[in-house]
Amino acid sequence: MTNVTNFSEETAVARAAGQPLLSTHDITRSFGQVRALAGVSLEVAAGETVAVMGPSGSGKSTLLHCLSGVLTPDAGEVRLAGNTLSGLSDKRRSHTRLTEFGFVFQDNQLIPELPSRENVALPLMLTGSGRGKALAEADAMLARLGIADLAGRRPGDMSGGQAQRVAIARALVGRPKVVFADEPSGALDQATGHEVMQLLTAIVGLAGASLILVTHDPNVAAWCSRLVEIRDGLVHSDRRLGASREATR
Ligand SMILES: Nc1ncnc2c1ncn2[C@@H]1O[C@H](COP(=O)(O)OP(=O)(O)OP(=O)(O)O)[C@@H](O)[C@H]1O
């Protein structure tokens, strides 16, 4: 079975040095006249779970995209384990995204034509793993999440909750340092959403990864140990969540 408890060497070094794993320093980002981020500085430690909340249009997605290297800031810097992320070429940033990060979206974004095990294996194949090895690791991850029975099912033949569990397997299969989640339970009913959040936070915790999660729902944010509130492109508040459910998982 895949050992998801192993940290990469860099993460372990960052953790030992008390360095943030992922950080932004005074990042700004505009779209035309719209200033989506107006100077955000944030530090996320290895293994930390951070919920990002804020009104619609406040800059949450733009922040998530800058942190994950999907977008580059206009000014300021994003660093991963002490190294610049925002300063990398597009090619190297894409490679870093594939090898160091996992993504969970509201609408799972699985490839409809592929069965679950191939969807889960895809990130590994994209970074050079052979098909057989990638499929074996996908099977192990599906088993780890208790959904081995879904291995042969295509997204259209599963419930929304099942497909989201497969999407979580895909996000974790490459042993990412950071998992980014954008409203991961937003398309699910409350009970299924609860189960999906339980699974996501448990597997992220076992993997020793950090979680950065954008949500409008305080009940979803409560699964994290820290809440960052964004308003008008700035950090409005940043606090520990005392009643984190991490303690009960
Ligand atoms: N690609 C884009 N082109 C033009 N404007 C954009 C683009 N992306 C974001 N914006 C603008 O930047 C601002 C911040 O958007 P962002 O999507 O980051 O907010 P958000 O807090 O995630 O919103 P929501 O909760 O509605 O998803 C908004 O005014 C938005 O219209």
- What is the tens place of the pLDDT at every residue in 180-221? 999 999 999 999 999 999 999 999 999 999 999 999 999 999
Question: For ligand 1, atom 11, which residue shows the shortest CA distance?
Answer: 36
**What does DSSP assign to residue 7?**
P
- Predicted TM-score (pTM) of this structure: 0.91
Cα distance between residue 25 and residue 39, in whole Å: 8
Question: For ligand 1, atom 5, which residue shows the shortest CA distance?
Answer: 31
What confidence score (pLDDT) does residue 108 get?
84
What confidence score (pLDDT) does residue 12 get?
58
pLDDT digits (tens, 9 = 90+) for 15-28: 555 679 999 999 99
**Coil, strand or helix: which one is 121?**
helix
**What does DSSP assign to residue 247?**
G
H helix and E strand count, the chain: 8, 10
Chain centre distance of CA 247: 20
Closest-lying ligand 1 atom to the alpha carbon of residue 58: 21
Residues in contact with ligand 1 (CB, 6 Å cut-off): 31, 34, 36, 54, 56-62
Query: Who contacts 63 (Cβ-Cβ below 8 Å, separation ≥6)?
Result: 24, 37, 40, 42, 52, 230
- With a cut of 0.90, is the ipTM above it? yes
Percentage above 70 pLDDT, the chain: 90
Domains of the chain in sequence order: 46-58+91-242 (3.40.50.300)
Residue with tokens 């943030």: 20
Using the mean position of ligand 1's atoms as its centre, give its distance from the Cα of residue 62 in Å. 6
Using the mean position of ligand 1's atoms as its centre, give its distance from the Cα of residue 35 in Å. 9
CA geometry: angle 68, 65, 29, nearest 5 deg: 125
pLDDT digits (tens, 9 = 90+) for 89-138: 999 999 999 999 999 998 889 999 999 999 999 999 999 999 999 999 99
Q: Helix crossing, 116-126 with 131-144: angle to 10°? A: 130
Which tokens go with 106?
């509201």
Closest-lying ligand 1 atom to the alpha carbon of residue 54: 21
**What does DSSP assign to residue 102?**
E
Percentage above 90 pLDDT, the chain: 87
Cα distance between residue 55 and residue 38, in whole Å: 15
